[in-house]
């Protein structure tokens, strides 16, 4: 995710880090070169019939394309924002689990430590699962040897970690040290964390319809390629400038939609899962009284991962 001060004045014209320019520069450059070639051909050779080409059809096509791009980007932003809400809820549920473990299990610090370390491992495992990394390796530092062995035969590591937390909390319940109603309070936290996992997996595994994305991508290219032919009769040598600006706008919107469609990826505008996981780690270790605490992740070149 891009973290930087809001640009002002002339900064709007030359800022590259954090912008979409590096991602779309090859496509925009292609349209610029094409527009220069079309302008040169029209101005130097004056082909017959060029005066009949009107910009009106391109105006209509650009209007329709911009509407559809706005719909797609709105849907992609909704996915991005829902993903951020899910992880915000995970932070809330993790803090609540830590608070309730301290309140309901005050005489068993070892159990609290095991439960909250498993909760940190769950956050790391979920982030790794969403980014298609090694899930077991991500969770391993927070587990003992026996717990790591339990994960070998399970495909859904985050769900297994929640099951291990439930098993740990069931021990004082069976021993009569925890009232069944209070155990239900803790179980509700685990159910909420499981729901967050399912919500994130739904976003990750259900992209927007491919045919819809492909149609918009093709139309953006078609519009930008044909645009210089529609503008050259009216603008002449100014055609490359207008074509470049419009190509930047349409290709930029298309690229932003692609990046936000999967909010859990590693593109600059995706969610900073590593930083969110580190927040959970700091809060839960602090609740256990462990020091020194790890430092929060900071943006590198204005990008927070």
Name residues of the chain where pLDDT drops below 50: none
Q: Is the dihedral of CA 103, 109, 115, 121 positive or negative?
A: positive
Helix axes 239-261, 21-45, angle to 10 degrees: 150
Per-residue model confidence (pLDDT) at position 113? 93
Q: Rounded CA gap, 24 and 2, in Å?
A: 17
Q: Is the dihedral of CA 119, 124, 129, 133 positive or negative?
A: negative
Secondary structure (3-state) at 126: helix
pLDDT tens, 188-229? Answer: 999 999 999 999 999 999 888 888 888 888 888 988 888 888
Per-residue model confidence (pLDDT) at position 234? 79
Per-residue model confidence (pLDDT) at position 10? 65
Q: Determine if the pTM surpasses 0.85.
A: yes
Per-residue model confidence (pLDDT) at position 129? 95
Q: Rounded CA gap, 76 and 83, in Å?
A: 11
């Amino acid at each position: 995710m891009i973290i930087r001060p809001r640009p002002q004045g002339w900064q709007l014209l030359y800022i590259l880090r954090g912008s979409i320019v590096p991602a779309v520069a090859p496509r925009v450059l292609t349209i610029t070169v094409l527009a220069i070639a079309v302008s040169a051909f029209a101005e130097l050779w004056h082909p017959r019939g060029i005066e009949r080409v009107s910009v009106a059809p391109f105006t209509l096509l650009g209007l329709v394309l911009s509407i559809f791009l706005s719909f797609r980007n709105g849907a992609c932003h909704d996915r991005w924002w829902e993903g951020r809400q899910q992880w915000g809820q995970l932070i809330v549920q993790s803090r609540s689990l830590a608070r309730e473990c301290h309140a309901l299990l005050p005489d068993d610090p070892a159990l609290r430590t095991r439960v909250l370390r498993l909760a940190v491992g769950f956050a790391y495992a979920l982030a790794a699962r969403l980014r298609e990394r090694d899930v077991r390796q991500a969770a391993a530092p927070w587990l003992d040897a026996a717990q790591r062995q339990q994960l070998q035969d399970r495909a859904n590591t985050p769900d297994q970690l929640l099951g291990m937390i439930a098993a740990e909390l069931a021990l004082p319940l069976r021993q009569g040290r925890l009232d069944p109603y209070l155990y239900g309070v803790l179980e509700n936290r685990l159910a909420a964390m499981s729901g967050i996992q399912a919500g994130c997996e739904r976003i990750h595994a259900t992209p927007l319809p491919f045919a819809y994305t492909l149609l918009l991508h093709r139309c953006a290219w078609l519009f930008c390629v044909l645009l210089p032919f529609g503008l050259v009769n009216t603008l002449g040598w100014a055609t490359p400038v207008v074509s470049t600006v419009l190509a930047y706008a349409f290709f930029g919107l298309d690229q932003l939609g692609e990046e936000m469609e999967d909010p859990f990826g590693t593109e600059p505008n995706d969610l900073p899962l590593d930083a969110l996981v580190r927040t959970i780690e700091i809060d839960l270790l602090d609740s256990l009284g462990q020091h020194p605490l790890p430092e929060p992740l900071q943006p590198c070149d204005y990008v927070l991962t």
